[in-house]
A and B are shown apart, each in its own frame.
Chain A
Amino acid sequence: MNFSTLDLVIIIVYLLFAMGLGFWAKRFVEDLSGYMVAGRRVKVSLGIATFVATELGTITFMYFGELGYVTGFSCFIIGILAAVAYSFVGSTGFIIAGLRRYGVMTIPEFYEIRYSRKVRLLGGIILFLGGVLNMGIFLKFDGIFLTEVMGFGPDALLVVMTVMLLIVISYTILGGMFSVVITDFMQFVVLSFGMLIATIAVLWNLDWGTLASAVTEHLGEEGYDPLVNPRFGWMFIVWILISNVAAGALWQPGTSKALASESPAVAKKVFFYTGLTFAGRAMVPMVWGIAALAYLGPGQPSAAAMPKMLSQLVPTGFLGLLIAGMLAASMSTYSAYLLAWSSVIARDVIACFRPTDFPEKTTIWITRIAAGIIGVFLLIFGLFYQIPDTAFQYLFITGAMYTAGALGCVSAGLYWRKANNVGAYTALVMGAIAPLGFLVLEKSRDLLPEQFLFITDVNIAGLLSFVLAATGMILGSLFTQASHPAKTITRAEVP
């Protein structure tokens, strides 16, 4: 164990600095648009930095590290799929350019413009549930990372994580997107540096030949070929590719970066360049996981192996920088996610029970209160919920609850004139059914009749959600054109 007092000092100084910066950003909030999308003034480089920081949390390192440890090189396919999907969204402007043109702040806002206020309410509820469930395990995995790397007991860890969450909640509540953008940028620099240090330390001690030997010895062909590995296969590849396109275009914390961009052209560039980083974003921690397999051997708890290896290979002093980088990664992710989900509950759920929106000040206050409540939920849920399968698959299946229906609703809404309310309701509900079925039924797999067992396969449930949502949108719209004619967006409806 290389963790020392010097490392602890580095971490405390860093946390104080991040907190100060977050609070300082409050002075820049002028109105609702300033609070939620930083006044739509974010340019390309800053957009890339804040987007990468949002999509890289300690949880990301943990689930990719876990995959590297249990599946070897074959999991690299996930990084390739993500890079292809996000670059596709960026180069074509698929969905994001359209949403940015309409000037919405949250995705369900588009449902009201294109469909109705009730569709916005349903979409908001599903997005909120999927998003918060998805975020629910972040704290737990951050906890495992810090326990292993710092060598503290689980009790001290709970205190550290609570303090970290309180810091993030407080500056996100006060400063909104300005705090998120400013702290994201600083955290992006720190976490990139931390990743570089860890990668050099790992490859300095264990060369590629050693990693390859460990994969061959412990995993065989499954460690190299994603089509042979039973966790992956064709169904997984198709699901993850579609899911990444949907998440790239429609996952509120990430899409809010496009919505905060200066223009649709800037939004496209931000997504394209960020897409280029997505292969490395996955493969770097995966290599750490493979290194853990080579260094510690098989049989370790899969999630804890990677941080345990890092604690032994990264030298004193640098370990503090690495942990500061990981805390940076977590804080930037928490802040962006907290803001995204609290914005959705305020604007797309609570406000939708009224005929008109709340005044801006009231919306900001509801958003702040919601962010606090979500924070408390994260602490409780993260500590007690046992995730099925790997963390990666849990995150994608909870994400699919919302992205499957949203992909149907938004893409059809933007690019298909016949898309109507009935199609939108059907897509949203049918997209959520398979993932929800998986999450509920997976816990009672033994009690299920054989013909329903397929729903407890995470890859089938994930792919099915997109197929059902698309079918729901197409059939729902086509069969009800006469009774529910599709709405045409008027200029007056664009904010």
Chain B
Amino acid sequence: MSMGALIWFVIFLIGALLFFGVAAYAAINGMRDLRELLTRVKKTDKRTGL
């Protein structure tokens, strides 16, 4: 394998790790944010009667 292919491999690896790493983080914590968002809207509904 040439040096060029090796360099692009390392860059790809970093890019892919960052993508799937951030995706895993956002998927786990996003669920909590989503639940909170919907709960707050429901509370607003009760308060305003909408």
Contact = CB atoms under 8 A, between A and B. Distances in A.
B36 A43 contact: yes
A277 B19 contact: yes
Measured as residues with beta carbon below 8 angstroms from the partner, the interface class of chain A is: 35 or more
Nearest to B45: A30
Contacts, number: 125
Interface residues of B, number: 38
Contact of A283 (B11, B33, B38): B11
Interface stretch (A45-53, A294-302, A407-415): A45-53
A43 B1 CA distance: 44
A211 B37 CA distance: 45
Interface in A272-286: 273-274, 276-277, 279-284
Contact of A276 (B22, B28, B30, B50): B22
Interface stretch (A75-83, A366-374, A393-401, A427-435): A75-83
Interface in A175-189: 178, 181-182, 185, 188-189
Interface in B35-50: 36-38, 40-42, 44-45, 48, 50
A76 B8 contact: yes
Contacts of B48: 30
A34 interface: yes
Contacts of B8: 73, 76, 224
Contact of B5 (A45, A73, A283): A73
B34 to A, nearest CB: 5
B34 A212 contact: no
A113 interface: no
B1 A212 contact: yes
A362 to B, nearest CB: 18
B11 A76 contact: yes
Contacts of B17: 280
A383 B26 CA distance: 36
